[in-house]
A and B are shown apart, each in its own frame.
Chain A
Amino acid sequence: MTDVERFEAFVRTYQDMVFATAVRLLGNPAEAEDVAQSVFVKAFEQFDTIGSSPAAAGWLRTVARNACLNHLSRYRSRWRFFSELGSSDAETDAPFDVAAPGIAGRALEQADERERLEQALRRLPSHQRVPLVLFHFEEASYEDIARMLGISLAKVKTDIHRGREALRKQLETSGYESR
């Protein structure tokens, strides 16, 4: 197997994971694709050491997360400003588009609900979505999130709570039942 083939296999193995991390943090598939590409180019430059490393997945995830936070940092001042103004409440309280309940079977209905939840997560304002994703998907602590984003611990908790409330409303709107 040539180096190109090895790298292609490497990308095929991890592209979904990197893209998922990026799209959930950025909330935008096009930007997530750009970030994923830059992450894999970095991996390519160090492929001799990373390609066969068992820590490749962790390395990719960390690089993807940092790349997303760097990508967001250029908007972070504006993000903080609007967050502090409290305009986010109006934004998150706005109802999400909800499709009519599916009738083609429970599995299809559940898939539909998950898709709506995924979309609801992506539509959260950045100052709620980013800490929420870092907490629930990246398993970062509140303290780590506060340090990564350069904001106070209280603000992290408040933003995550508001994000969860918005998602709960989405769940209730789509007829969530505790399963």
Chain B
Amino acid sequence: MNPADLERLIDRELRKLPAPRAPRSLLPRIMAAASDTAARPWYTRAWLTWPVGWQLASAVVLMGVVAGTAMLLPQIQAAVTTLTFIADARGEVASSARGFETTTTAVRVLWRTIVAPVVPYAFGLITLMCAACAVFGTALNHLVFGKAFR
């Protein structure tokens, strides 16, 4: 049998077939599913099934968001650039502050551990040296120079 005859034969025989009937269980299933769907809030369903007012409102909001984004994009870009610059500057300042803090801490530690314990003795030694110098100078003035320096 050639393909064209075969096509005609099968087409004719298939068209004679009665349409299969839906099982009796289908209708109750569909009605139960429809009842469940009706019980769901409208916003959980497909957008196309939303109330017209909400469809319009959501479309307006969406367009507003898109238009606002398009209009604000240059400003947003500029703001981002500025914020980036400020952040960089803050980073540098923070870095400098950290360096300064490290230095002062090191100085403070050195002072407390090495210099501070010696300072009273050094001060006393310097005072004694100054007093000794004053006594020696006065003695020289009286004995050697005949009170030449007054």
* A162 CA to B105 CA, complexed, in Å: 90
Residue in B13, B20, B31 whose beta carbon sits within 8 Å of that of A171 in the complex: B13
Least CB separation from A12: chain B residue? B27
Evaluate contact between B20 and A118: CB separation under 8 angstroms: yes
Query: Closest residue of chain B to A163, judged by CB?
Result: B10
Decide if B19 touches A37 in the complex (CB within 8 Å). no
- How many residues on B have C-beta within 8 angstroms of the other chain's C-beta atoms? 32
- Report B29 CB to chain A, min CB distance, Å: 5
- B37 at the A interface (CB under 8 A): yes
**Cβ 8 A contact of A44, one of B18, B19, B37, B48:** B37
Partner of B6, one of A16, A20, A41, A165: A165
Q: Could you tell me if A15 and B6 are in contact, using CB atoms closer than 8 angstroms?
A: no
CA distance A137 to B14 in the complex (A): 8
CB distance from B46 to the nearest CB of A (A): 6
The chain A residue with its CB closest to the CB of B25 is A33
Inter-chain contact count A-B, CB under 8 Å? 96
CA distance A8 to B6 in the complex (A): 41
Tell whether, in the assembled complex, residue B22 and residue A16 are in contact, meaning their CB atoms are under 8 Å apart. Answer: yes
How many residues from A make CB contacts under 8 Å with B?
A: 37
- Check A117 against B22 for contact (C-beta < 8 Å): no
- Which residues of A (161-179) have their CB < 8 Å from a CB of B? 161, 164-165, 167-168, 171, 176, 178
What A residues does B21 contact at CB under 8 A? Answer: 16, 19-20
| A15–B22 touching, CB < 8 Å | yes
Q: Are B15 and A15 in contact (CB under 8 A)?
A: no
CA distance A69 to B133 in the complex (A): 113
Q: Nearest chain A CB to B38's CB is how many angstroms away?
A: 8
Nearest residue (CB) in B for A42 is B46
Is the beta-carbon distance between B30 and A167 smaller than 8 angstroms?
Answer: no
Q: Is the CB of A136 within 8 A of B16?
A: no
* B10 CB contacts on chain A under 8 angstroms: 132, 136, 164, 167-168
Q: A11-B30, A137-B14, A167-B10 are in contact. Are A33 and B23 (CB under 8 A)?
A: yes
Q: What 8 A-B pairs are tightest by C-beta distance, nearest first?
A: A19-B22, A20-B19, A15-B22, A45-B49, A44-B34, A40-B30, A164-B10, A20-B20
The 12 sampled A-B contact pairs (Cβ below 8 Å) are: A7-B34, A11-B27, A19-B21, A19-B22, A33-B26, A36-B22, A117-B17, A136-B11, A161-B3, A164-B10, A168-B1, A171-B13
Q: Other than the known A19-B23, A117-B14, what 7 A-B pairs have Cβ atoms closer than 8 Å?
A: A20-B22, A29-B20, A29-B23, A33-B23, A41-B37, A114-B16, A118-B17
Q: Which residues on A are within 8 Å of B, measured CB to CB? A: 4, 7-8, 11-12, 15-20, 23-24, 29, 33, 36-37, 40-41, 44-46, 114, 117-118, 121, 132, 136-137, 161, 164-165, 167-168, 171, 176, 178
